[in-house]
Amino acid sequence: MILTVTPNPALDVTWHVDRLRVGDTHRADAGAVRAGGKGLNVARVAHAEGAAVRAITTAGGRTGEEFAEELGRSGVPHALVRVGQDTRRSIAIVDEALGDTTVINERGLTPSDQEWADLLAAVVDALPSARVLVISGSLPPGAPDGFVPLLIAVAKDAGLPVIVDTSGPALLRAADAGASVLKPNRAELAEATGILDPLDGARALIERGAELVLLSLGAVGMLAVTASGLVHARLDQPLSGNPTGAGDAAVAACAVLYAEGERDPEVILRRATAWSAAAVLMPLAGDISPQWPAIAARLRVSHPDSDSVRKDLS
Amino acid sequence: MILTVTPNPALDVTWHVDRLRVGDTHRADAGAVRAGGKGLNVARVAHAEGAAVRAITTAGGRTGEEFAEELGRSGVPHALVRVGQDTRRSIAIVDEALGDTTVINERGLTPSDQEWADLLAAVVDALPSARVLVISGSLPPGAPDGFVPLLIAVAKDAGLPVIVDTSGPALLRAADAGASVLKPNRAELAEATGILDPLDGARALIERGAELVLLSLGAVGMLAVTASGLVHARLDQPLSGNPTGAGDAAVAACAVLYAEGERDPEVILRRATAWSAAAVLMPLAGDISPQWPAIAARLRVSHPDSDSVRKDLS
C-alpha cells in the first residue's frame, strides 16, 4: 500500500468565467469543490491506476466537512485527522477564453501540538501495511521543523522508502533525514538550496542524504539525478494543457514503482515523465489520461553528461 | 418596522491579495464571510442607524448555514426561509495595491414553487408590523414573473409603500405594479426600458405607475424624478472608495424616511445621497460612515430643468 501524507490540505473550489478581467464583475455557475492537496492528488492517480493507497490528511470546520464529503465520494481510501481550525481553501478561476487559471491559496492555520501528534500517530498506525511513504505539499504555518524528518525516521525504521515533494527548508530537512526520493522543480530547488545551477542543486540534495532527485523541468521533461549518474526524459513534442498536478502524477508513478520494489532510476523516470505528461491532458489535478502508455512510447530518454544537460537547460 | 426582502441572497466571501494578476498563483489569509444581498445591506444600514428592521431572505445547504451564522452574529433582526439548494456565493478578490475588486457572482439556483410560496408567506406574516416594504436585488434564475408584482400587491393591500431596487424585466413589472419608489442606476434604467436618455427612462417608469424614481448617477450624485418635477443632489467633490453597497445605503435612507411618513422628494434625495456617499467611505457593503451628517452638509441640491440635467449627464 502507498501511504500518502498531506500536512496542509485545501478545499479546492473552481469557478469558470468567459474572460477574467481584474476589477470587473463576472457571472459563473456554482464553484466545483474538490478535496485538494498534493498527497491527495498522488493517492488519486495511484488509486485510479490500480495501486493500493491510503491518504492521510487533516480536516476541520465547515470546509473540512465539505472536504471529507468529497473525499468520501472519490472512493480513495483515506484517514482524516480532525483538527480544530477550518481546512483552508484554494480557489481557482479559469478563464475559458484564454485557458489561464488564476489561483488564490489561503495560507492555512497552525495545528495544535496535539493535532501534529495525532497526524503522526495516524501515519505510524498505517505504516505496518505500507510499502512506501509519500509526504507531499507545503506545511501549514507554524509547523514544527522536526515534523518531516520525524515522519521520514519512523518510515525508515519500519524499512520503508520515503518520497518527499515539498519546498523551502523542509526540502533540505528531508534530504538531511535521508529521504529516498525528492521531486523539486527548478525554482523550488534553487530556492531551497540557494544554488542556481539545477545539476549542482540536485547533487547537493544527494550529498545531504537523498538517493534520487527527480527534477521536473516542465516542457523540457524530467531529470533523474543519483550519486552515480543522470537520466533525462522528454517528450518528442511538449503537450499543452493544465500543468497543475503534473508533479503529483510523477510522484504517483514513482510511488507505484517503489511499492513494487522497482529502484532503477531510468524505469522510474520514464513512468514519472509519462504520467506527468498524461496529467497535463486532464482538466483536474489528480487525474491522468488513460492514453499514458502511448505518451510513454513517445519519450526520448538519454544518459547525458552534465555539460550537455546544462546546455539543454540554459 | 422596515421589512426587506432579498430573493437572491449570496454568501459573500472576500480575499485580499497584494496584486491580482490573471494566470498567477497568490497567497491570502482566509476569506472573510458575510451574509450578502442587497436587501440585507439595506437592513444592516437602517438597523445601524437605529431604525426597526426585519430582513427576510432564503438560506440553503452548507453555504446557507454559514450565511445564517453570520447573519445571526450581525444582530440584524431577520427571518430565513429554508430552501433545498445551496445559497449561492459571491466571491470578491481585492487587489490591495490598486484597490480594484474583482467579483464573481454565482448565478444561483431556482427555488421550488413551495419555496417561493414560503418566501411570500414569510413576507405576508411580517406585513402587519411593517411601515414599508423593500424588495432588493436580482431574482434567482427561473423566478416566476409574477413574484415581485405579487409582493407589491400584498404590501399595497396592507397600506404599505414599496421600494424596489432591481433590474431587467422585474424593474418594469415593479413600475407596472405601482411600486412607490424605484432606484435604478443609469445602466439598469436604459437596459430595462430600452430608452437611452435617463430622464425619459425615469419618466417612463413614472408613467407605468411608480411615484418616485431615485436615479443613482455615481460621481454625479442622484436625481429624484416624480410626475411633477426633478431634484438633483451631488457632493461638492466626489469621494473615492468602495462603491459596492452605495445604492443599498440610498435605499436604506429612503426606507427610513418612508417608514417615518416622510414623502418630500428633496428630503429623501438629500438623505439618500448622503448615505450613499457615506457608504463609499466604508470597506464593506452594508455599512455607512458615521460622518454622514457632515457629508449631507456638503450637498449641492438644485431643481433643474430637463435640459440642464441632460447637459450635466451627457
Burial of A274 (0-12, 13-18, 19+ CB in 10 A): buried
**Burial (Cβ within 10 Å: 0-12, 13-18, ≥19) of residue A178:** middle
Q: Is A103 left (phi over 0), alpha (psi -120 to 50) or beta?
A: beta
Cell numbers placing A276: 506527468
Structurally, how many domains does chain B consist of? 1
pLDDT values of chain A reduced to their tens digit, one per residue, 314 residues? 999 999 999 999 999 999 999 999 999 999 999 999 999 999 999 999 999 999 999 999 999 999 999 999 999 999 999 999 999 999 999 999 988 889 999 998 899 999 999 999 999 999 999 999 999 999 999 999 999 999 999 999 999 999 999 999 999 999 999 999 999 999 999 999 999 999 999 999 999 999 999 999 988 999 999 999 999 999 999 888 888 899 999 999 999 999 999 999 999 999 999 999 999 999 888 999 999 999 999 999 999 999 998 888 88
**What's the confidence (pLDDT) of residue A312?**
81
Rg (CA), chain B: 19
Non-local (6+) Cβ contacts of B48 within 8 A are: B287, B288
Instruction: For residue B202, give every residue at least 6 positions away whose Cβ sits within 8 Å of its Cβ, in sequence order, or none.
Output: B189, B213, B215, B223, B225
> Is the Cα torsion angle B252, B255, B261, B263 positive or negative in sign?
positive
Q: Which of B26, B62, B106 lies nearest to residue A29, judging by beta carbons?
A: B106
The Cα-based distances of B146 to B80, B83, B169, B179, B206 in angstroms read 21, 20, 11, 14, 20
Please name the residues in contact with B209: beta carbons below 8 A apart, sequence gap of 6 or more. B175, B176, B177, B178, B179
Give the number of other CB atoms < 10 A from CB of residue B201. Answer: 22
Identify whether the C-beta of residue B293 lies closer than 8 Å to the C-beta of residue B278: no
Residue of chain B nearest A31, judged by CA positions: B106
Give which of B8, B22, B100 to mutate to test A binding, by max A Cβ within 10 Å: B22
Q: Going along A120-268, which residue ranges are E strands? A: 132-136, 162-165, 181-182, 212-216, 222-226, 230-235
Q: What sign does the CA torsion over B302, B304, B310, B314 have?
A: negative
Q: What digits encode the pLDDT tens for the residues B137-187?
A: 999 999 999 999 999 999 999 999 999 999 999 999 999 999 999 999 999
Task: Tell me which chain B residues have a C-beta less than 8 angstroms from the C-beta of A104.
Answer: 15, 17, 25-28, 93
pLDDT at A240: 84
- Mode of pairing for the β-strands spanning A212-216 and A222-226: antiparallel
What Å distances lie between residue B160 and A264, B128, B154, B260, CA to CA? 81, 9, 9, 12
Residue B284 reports pLDDT greater than 90: no
CA distance B145 to B136: 15
Does some domain include residue A89?
A: no
List of chain A residues whose C-beta atoms are within 8 Å of the C-beta of residue B187 = none
End-to-end CA distance of chain B: 39
Q: Do B30 and A106 touch (CB under 8 A)?
A: yes
What per-residue confidence (pLDDT) applies to B311?
87
Residues of B catalogued as catalytic: 248
* Active site positions of A, annotated: 248
What is residue A128's DSSP assignment? G
Of residues A28, A29, A104, nearest to B28 (C-beta): A104
User: Up-side HSE of residue A151: CA atoms within 13 Å toward CB?
Assistant: 32
Please tell me which residue of chain B has the smallest CA distance to A27. Answer: B105
Instruction: Give Cβ neighbours of residue B236 (< 8 Å, ≥ 6 apart).
Output: B298, B299, B300
Q: Is A49 inside any structural domain?
A: yes
| pLDDT at residue B37 is higher than 90 | yes
What residue has cell string 546546455? A311
Residue B30 has pLDDT above 90, yes or no: yes
Check if the beta carbon of residue B151 is closer than 8 Å to that of residue B158.
no
Place of cell 540536485: A202
- For cell 532510476, the residue is A265
Cβ contacts of B62 on chain A, cutoff 8 Å: 62, 65-66
CA distance linking residue A305 with residue B257, whole number of Å? 82
CATH code of A166's domain: 3.40.1190.20
Do residues A309 and A203 touch, judged by C-beta distance below 8 A? no
Residues from B contacting A (CB-CB < 8 Å) are 15, 17, 20-31, 62, 65-66, 86, 88-89, 91, 93, 95, 98, 100-107, 109
In a domain, A18, yes or no: no
Chain A residues with CB within 8 Å of chain B CB: 15, 17, 20-31, 62, 65-66, 86, 88-89, 91, 93, 95, 98, 100-107, 109
pLDDT at B242: 81
Phi, psi for residue B174 in degrees, rounded to 5:
-65, -40
Mutual orientation of helices A61-74 and B61-74 as an angle, nearest 10°?
Answer: 180
Residues of chain B contacting A20 with CB distance shorter than 8 Å:
22, 102
ipTM of the complex: 0.86
CA atoms of A271 and B56, how far apart (whole Å) = 58
For residue B302, the enclosing domain spans 2-313
Distance (Å) from the C-alpha of residue B86 to the closest C-alpha of chain A?
Answer: 9
Confidence at residue A138, expressed as pLDDT on a 0 to 100 scale: 93
Counts for chain B of helices (H) and strands (E), in that order: 11, 15
Distance from CA of A243 to the nearest CA of B (A): 12
Residue B41: pLDDT band by 50, 70, 90 thresholds? very high
Closest partner residue to B88 (CB to CB) among A30, A101, A102 is: A30
Chain B contact set for A17 (CB, 8 A): 104
Judge whether A103 lies within some domain: no
Which grid coordinates are listed for A154? 519512523
- Which residue in the set B17, B103, B106 is minimally distant from A31, CB to CB? B106
Contact A23 B86 (CB under 8 A): no
Coil, strand or helix at B218 = helix
Span B118-141, average pLDDT: 97
The reply to whether A24 falls in a domain is: no
Q: Is A193 exposed, middle or buried (0-12, 13-18, 19+ CB in 10 A)?
A: buried
